Amino acid sequence: MGGGDLTPELIDSDFWTDAMVEAAGIPIVDVPFVTVGSGIGSFITVDYLRICGVPAEAIAVLGPQDVPWHSYEYLTRVSQIPRGERLRSDSASTPDNIWGFPSYAVREAWADRTFAPLWNVLVEPIFANYYTPKAGQAFESMARECDRIGYARSLRQGQVRMIRRRVGGDYFTILTPPQGAAPTKRIAYRSRWVHVAIGYPGIRLLPDLQAFRETYRDASKVVNAYESHEHVYQALQRRPGTVMIRGAGIVASRILQRLIDDRDRFGLQTQIVHLFRTYADKPYGPSIFKRRKASHGWTYQGFNYPKSAWGGQLKARMRKLEGHERAAAYQEISSTNTPIRANWQRQLERGRTQGWYRVAVGTAESLVPAPNGAGVVATVRVDPHAPMDQPHRPDGTIELYADYVIDCTGLEADVREHRLLADLLDHTGAGINPVGRMDVDRTFELIGTRNGAGRLYASGSATLGGYFPGVDTFLGLQIAGLEIVDDLAAQGFGRKLTPARSVAQWWRWMNRRGVD
Note the pLDDT tens digit of each residue in 43-62: 999 999 999 999 999 999 99
Tell me the CATH number at 171.
3.50.50.60
Q: Is the pLDDT of residue 41 over 90?
A: yes
**Is 369 within the bounds of a domain?**
yes
C-beta of residue 332 within 8 angstroms of C-beta of residue 290 = yes
pTM for this model (two decimals): 0.92
> How much is the average pLDDT of 427-431?
96
Q: Is the pLDDT of residue 204 over 80?
A: no
pLDDT of residue 411: 63
Rounded CA-CA distance 390/384 in Å is 8
Last residue of a domain, one of 367, 382, 407: 407
CA distances 395 to 204, 369, 392, Å, are: 29, 21, 8
Buried b (16+ CB within 10 A) or exposed e, 413-441: eebeebebbbbbbebbbbeebbeebbbbe
pLDDT of residue 157: 96
Q: Is the pLDDT of residue 203 over 80?
A: no
Residues 180 and 212 in one domain: no
> How much is the average pLDDT of 264-284?
92
Which of 226, 250, 202 is CA-nearest to residue 462? 202
**Is 32 within the bounds of a domain?**
yes
Which has the higher per-residue pLDDT, 125 or 444?
444
> How much is the average pLDDT of 230-234?
96
Buried b (16+ CB within 10 A) or exposed e, 75-104: bbebbbbeeebbbbbbbbbbbbbbeeebbb
Domain containing residue 214:
207-281+337-407
Last residue of a domain, one of 407, 438, 455: 407
Q: Which of 324-333, 382-391, 442-451 has the lowest mean pLDDT?
A: 324-333
Q: pLDDT tens digit string along 390-411? A: 999 999 999 999 999 999 986 6
pLDDT of residue 217: 87
Q: Is the pLDDT of residue 345 over 90?
A: no
> How much is the average pLDDT of 23-39?
97
**Is 192 within the bounds of a domain?**
yes
Q: pLDDT tens digit string along 484-513? A: 999 999 999 999 999 999 999 999 999 999
What's the pLDDT band for 478 if we cut at 50, 70, 90?
very high
Q: Is the pLDDT of residue 42 over 90?
A: yes
- Quote the radius of gyration of the chain (alpha carbons, Å): 25
pLDDT of residue 129: 83
- State how beta strands 357-369 and 376-382 pair: antiparallel
What DSSP line would sit under 54-120, residue for residue? --GGGEEEEES-SSTTHHHHHHHHHTT--TTSB-S--TT--TT-TT--S-HHHHHHHHHT-SHHHHH
DSSP run (H or E) holding 493: none
**Is 293 within the bounds of a domain?**
no
**Is 137 within the bounds of a domain?**
yes
Q: Is the pLDDT of residue 165 over 70?
A: yes
pLDDT of residue 1: 58
Number of domains in the chain: 2
∠ Cα 113 117 121 (to 5°): 150
Residues 249 and 361 in one domain: yes
Q: Is the pLDDT of residue 307 over 80?
A: no
Residues 262 and 402 in one domain: yes
> How much is the average pLDDT of 217-238?
93
> How much is the average pLDDT of 99-127?
93
Cis peptide before 125 (omega within 30 of 0): yes
Q: Is the pLDDT of residue 292 over 90?
A: no
> How much is the average pLDDT of 162-190?
96
> How much is the average pLDDT of 112-120?
95
Rounded CA-CA distance 156/163 in Å is 16
**Is 249 within the bounds of a domain?**
yes
∠ Cα 166 167 169 (to 5°): 65
Last residue of a domain, one of 368, 385, 407: 407
- State how beta strands 290-295 and 298-300 pair: antiparallel
Average pLDDT score over the chain: 92
**Is 158 within the bounds of a domain?**
yes
Residues 370 and 259 in one domain: yes
Residues 235 and 349 in one domain: yes
Q: Which of 20-24, 363-367, 509-513 has the lowest mean pLDDT?
A: 363-367
